[in-house]
Amino acid sequence: MAAPKPPTAQVQPCRYKTGKTLGAGSYSVVKECVHIDTGRYYAAKVINKRLMAGREHMVRNEIAVLKKVSMGHQNILTLVDYFETMNNLYLVTDLALGGELFDRICRKGSYYESDAADLMRATLSAVAYLHDHGIVHRDLKPENLLFRTPEDNADLLIADFGLSRIMDEEQFHVLTTTCGTPGYMAPEIFKKTGHGKPVDIWAIGVITYFLLCGYTPFDRDSNLEEMQAILEADYSFTPIEYWRGVSNTARDFIRLCLTTDPHSRMTSHEALNHPWIKEDNEPKEEKKEGGEKVDLLPTVRKNFNARVKLHAAIDTIRAINQLRAGQGAAQMNGAKSSEPARGNPGPPLPAEPKADEMEGVEEGTGQLGNEGGKPQEAAEKMDIDSRGHGRGQSEEQIKEQERKSKETMQGLWGKR
């Protein structure tokens, strides 16, 4: 008797037709799609299997998280369907037509501190729901906060659960991979001491700071300097003219979020009960002497645009320098120095992390507009000279910065 043939996968006709591209990342593209039978519009995240080879667990995690929380909270993007074809994986979700958080703010005619508090209240409500269900998002940032519709009263949605994890409720710290967007990453992620739900509260603090002034608290000229600032919580509410219209209550909320010790950081429910979030937010400090509320939009928009231009210029200079270095290396190919003792070997590069230790780290300036860039090698990410390290500094300052850089690198890459 012949052995029974193994069952073959059933091929089914696709129930969706894809349309215009809404966004793109390193491994996927997000397209508008319509259900052929119902005519309803959704967003389809199309993930290239070849590019995701070896990282399929990230997609499985995203599906598991979305299945667990979909339809459970009005401020969380809902997973509608998921399936695969020969070459791609598809995640079908709600279509957020209202655009990204900061784009909406910039289009407004006015923007007040109370508006920022309302936005963070909605975000924290969703974060608390995730944490109550044992989920940590790990990549909260303005680009991942979308409005459901263009209407003024539209729901704000947390999106992109690609780095999220379902955690063991019995453990406070379980995750050790370096992941996220550098400007929004908590100190414990860099230290590799283990991290969990508190990393989302740190990101909430960074987002709040950004929404009130137009730049992130740890924005620096290089990624290494940014990392050092995060590890030391080195930020301030300056220049004073940018913060004159922001209340002390808002500043206190940010301080409690940006606490370096994750055990001392607010929980999501504690953050929801903070006076800046809980109260009808029109504090006295938010008003001018004449009783008029301070419109933050001109300052926020100006600072954001200035930093976008600055980092674009820095990246251009960096690319030119790399091109010149490459041309110089090509010209010197095969040449030998007659006086090798006079050569300068330069500072050693940090050891590259293992692939699984750099899961999901995104290159960026900590500002909007760099979403979707391809991940770079760790040595390039932590390049201490690429953005003018030491420029305009005394010899003592340079030596002190190099000492701090060495200590930081030992802490970052020393634990394997």
By annotation, the residues acting in catalysis are 139
CB 245 within 8 A of CB 113: yes
**Read out DSSP for 166-216?**
EPPTT-S--B-S--B-GGG--HHHHHTS-B-THHHHHHHHHHHHHHHHSS-
Q: Is 45 annotated as a binding residue?
A: yes
Please identify which residue in the block is written with the tokens 């119902």: 38
DSSP per-residue letters across 89-157 = EEEEE---TTEEHHHHHHHSS---HHHHHHHHHHHHHHHHHHHHTTEE-----GGGEEESSSSTTPPEE
Per the structure block, which two tokens stand in for 138?
Answer: 């790990």
Is residue 7 reached through a cis peptide bond, with omega within 30 degrees of 0 on the bond before it? no
* 88: helix, strand or coil: strand
- Beta-strand (E) ranges in 193-314? none
Q: How far is CA 309 from CA 37, 164, 313, 316, 369, in A?
A: 46, 31, 6, 11, 11
Contact 260, 187 (CB under 8 A): yes
Taking a C-beta distance cutoff of 8 angstroms, is the pair 284, 114 a contact? no
DSSP SS3 for 258: coil
Task: Give the residue ranges of the annotated binding site for ATP.
Answer: 45
Task: Give the residue ranges of the annotated binding site.
Answer: 45
